[in-house]
Structure 1
Amino acid sequence: MGFILYILYNLLTPFLFIAAIFISFFSLRHKFSDNLNALKERISFSTKGFPQKAYWFHASSIGEVKAIKSIIEKAKELKPDIPFIITVSTLSGKKEALSLTPYVRILPADFYFLIKRFIKNLKPLKLFVAETEIWPNLLAHASKECKVKILNARISDKTFGSYLKISPLIRFSLKNISRICAQSKKDADRYSRFFDKEKIFITGNIKYDSLKKDEKAVDLAENIIKSADIQNKNKIIFGSTHPKEEEIIADSFEILKNEGEDVFFIIVPRHINKAILTKEIFDKKQIKTKLLSEKSKEKTEVLI
């Protein structure tokens, strides 16, 4: 059954890819030219300028790249003679990855022949996949060339429900993976529904391995608190927020204010280039809101 679903997946992937590209070109998140350049990489199997026999890390976006940073740094320390490359799925992820190595590109679309040719050209020593990037052709072809490990593996509630519906395909995709390092027992138990539990290890969330005290960041935070005159207020910070969540946050602010609570909200949107849209959500409710980039000295209740 898994092989049949794998064939169907390869038949449907081109159509799904076209739909995804169409949507991305109308996204306000990136410039048209940036989307065009990303498309060129997605349909190319070229590895020109990339070293062969390298450690290959794949991370979807900026969060996943940051999460595996400590692993990459350790790999460079232990194996300084082995080059490493990073593939990503998003432009924000690519920008972050370029701070770690010049060998960065968007992962080719998961088409059977395209990804097969890309891997043949690359000839990687090992592939390390971050979190939940289960691309059937990527895993199938890469596992024929080298050992493949999934790092910081997790499966959200929504994703787990989706995977259960296509469980034969997920099992087929994971069958030749050498190891899965899960964030938690819950994630490990979920992966064991599709993979040999003897090859699943609970390693915790490696994202926290990269946390270091940044004196500049501490000074910046102290200056923000001081300039906003909120030293004595109850401060609530919301990180990596999306528009629907920000609407709920705005409603909660109104409720707390009506109950007489002296609170100050700090919002850090998931996509910082959409901060102005976040501000509009609070402005509509007549909540005094300011962007961090604004120089205004007016009193504010919410800082973005």
Structure 2
Amino acid sequence: MFLNLLYATALVMLSPVVLYRMIRHGRYRRGGSQKLFGLSRHHAAQLRGDHGRVIWLHAVSVGEVNLLPELVKRLAVRSPDAAIVISSSTDTGYDLAVKHFGADRVFFCPLDFTWAVSRTLRNLQCSHLVLAELELWPNLIAAAERLGCPVAVVNGRLSERSAAGYQKFARLLTPTFARLSMVGCQDVVTAKRFVDCGVERTRTRVTGSLKFDNAPRSRETTEVASRMNWAGVDAWHRVWCFGSTQSGEEALAIRVFHRCRQEHPELRLILVPRHPERFDSVADLIVANGDRVVRRSRNDSQFDDQWESDEVILVDTIGELKHWWGVAQIATVGGSFGDRGGQNMLEPAGYGCAVSFGPNTKNFDTIAGRLLDGGGAVRVADEDELEQFVRRCLDDIPAADDLGRNAQSIVDEHRGAYDRTIDMLGIGDSRSQSKRRAA
């Protein structure tokens, strides 16, 4: 009851912000009933179909959703009698999940009110709940335990700062961690943090990061080829992709691009903002700086002519960044020059790009550290160092290619997390069947 009151108070306090974003950016308009009241019996029945039980996978947004297709594929093989349904908390995550799995398998995750999460679990007849990375919702996890539905975390990550924050509220949150049936962690340090927060040691496994397995293996795909043709890329071009950008990073990229192309007219720039509500403002920024903007969403056919030096491609669509990294030889991962804490740098690494990122990668510290230690990426402190990095990649192409090859080798070395994760979950195999019978 206390948590419900706390959530309701927070919702009321944030309502002006929510209302503004609904009106200004069109966010939070969909799925209101599912979020506030949970899944109805009718909608849950549609998701469940003819299956006798349901495996519910939750991924908060785009990055987590992108981890699920391979996991869903493997779970479907091991549990053909189960419906596998996917929830997300954001509009972009929901849309990407629909793109991957179809609208008949996707719903908006209920807010962590007791009535909403209990109703969803009951109506789904959920047999397993799997959380991607970590979505710590005490009411949801407690309701699942009451209904006999084990809750597992896959690709678990828990930063030092987050773990310290959770431990400050140990009386409230330790029972939630203790209820987790299994946690697949990205590394040993993360596993220890989960234990320190209350997970039983025997319920943790070091499975590695699914992002290594999910990273591309080759540029020789139809998805990459179609984007290269669309953009008019040829062998003369050197393409720099700055992806998952947050406010301020696009302006930084444009300034560096303008200075570098004076000596290197072969340089081309692709910008991929993280949030859809910023697409229009980034397009305006490109034009204001004297370039022509080519918007992916408004140009569905390939260029009639070659990509010109004053054209900047703006990828203003969802779920495409993974393939655009493959168009580039030089990559800068956004969200790392401000306070966001970085984004996934393994996708450009998998393609063998010369990878760089800014000083703040707190959300991907382990992955960033492995790439840096293995000579597969470069951390730059500011705009000047970023310009130096781009210039080196243009002046010394063999060295840039070596950086990319190192990145690919590191990615390949750490693959195998999906196998370990599926083994940890034990859903659908003889172990899980015997556990259910014993229960």
Report the counterpart of residue 204 of structure 1 in structure 2. Answer: 208
Deviates more, 1:115-124 or 1:146-155: 115-124
Alpha-carbon distance in 2 for matches of 1:156, 1:283: 39
**Distance in 2 separating the partners of 1:254 and 1:153:** 40
Taking the aligned partners of 2:225 and 2:141, their CA distance within structure 1 comes to: 44
Residue 9 of structure 1 is matched in structure 2 by 3
Q: Return the alpha-carbon distance in structure 1 between the equivalents of residues 63 and 118 of structure 2.
A: 27
User: What residue identity is the alignment partner of 2:11?
Assistant: F
- Is the Cα–Cα contact under 8 Å of residues 22 and 28 in structure 2 kept in the other structure? no
Alignment check: 8 A CA contact 2:153 2:184 kept:
yes
3-state DSSP class of the match of 2:268? strand
Q: Quote the residue 1:85 is aligned against.
A: 85
Q: Distance in 1 between matches of 2:144 and 2:121?
A: 7
**2:312: which partner in 1?**
302
CA 171–30 in structure 1, closer or farther in 2 if over 3 Å, else same: farther
Partners of 2:275 and 2:202 in 1: how far apart?
38
The secondary structure found in structure 2 opposite 1:139 is helix
- Counterpart in 2 of 1:41? 34
Aligned to 1:163: 166
Partner of 2:194: 191
Q: Which amino acid aligns with 1:56?
A: W
| Cα distance, 1:25 vs structure 2 | 3.6
- Do structure 1's residue 100 and structure 2's residue 101 form an aligned pair? yes
Distance in 2 (alpha carbons) for counterparts of 1:250 and 1:158? 33
- Partner of residue 55, structure 1: 55
Structure 2 residue aligned with 1:3: none
Which residue, 102, 109, 114 being the options, matches 1:112? 114
Q: What does residue 240 of structure 1 align with? A: 244
Aligned position for 1:147 = 150
Separation in structure 1 between the aligned mates of residue 80 and residue 150 of structure 2, nearest angstrom = 19
Alignment check: 8 A CA contact 1:275 1:291 kept: no
Q: CA deviation at 1:111?
A: 1.1
CA RMSD of aligned residues (A): 3.0
SS in 1 for 2:196: coil
- 1:181 paired residue among 178, 181, 184: 184
Query: What TM-score does the superposition give when structure 2 sets the normalisation length?
Result: 0.59
Aligned residues: 294
Task: Evaluate the alpha carbon distance shift between residue 192 and residue 251 of structure 1 in structure 2; reply closer, same or farther with a 3 A threshold.
Answer: farther
The residue number in structure 1 matching 2:254 is 250
Q: TM-score, normalised by structure 1?
A: 0.82
Match of 1:4 in 2: none
Alignment correspondent of 1:131: 133
Deviations 1:150-180 (A, max 9, x none): 0111134654454344344332211111111
The CA deviation string for residues 4-43 of structure 1, in whole angstroms up to 9 with x for no partner, is: xxx64332111212344543342269975x7444212212
Question: What does the per-residue CA deviation read over 1:127-157, in whole Å, with 9 as the maximum and x for residues that have no partner?
Answer: 1011121111111111232111001111346
Q: 1:28 to 1:291 in 2, by over 3 A?
A: farther
In structure 1, the gaps of 5 or more residues are 1-6
Structure 2, gaps ≥5 residues long: 315-439
CA contact (8 A) 2:67 2:211 kept: yes
**Shift in alpha-carbon separation, 1:71–1:30, aligned structure 2, 3 A:** farther
Partner-residue secondary structure (3-state), 1:43:
helix
Deviation at 1:255, TM superposition (A): 5.4
Q: 1:290 to 1:58 in 2, by over 3 A?
A: same
What letter matches 1:130 in structure 2?
A
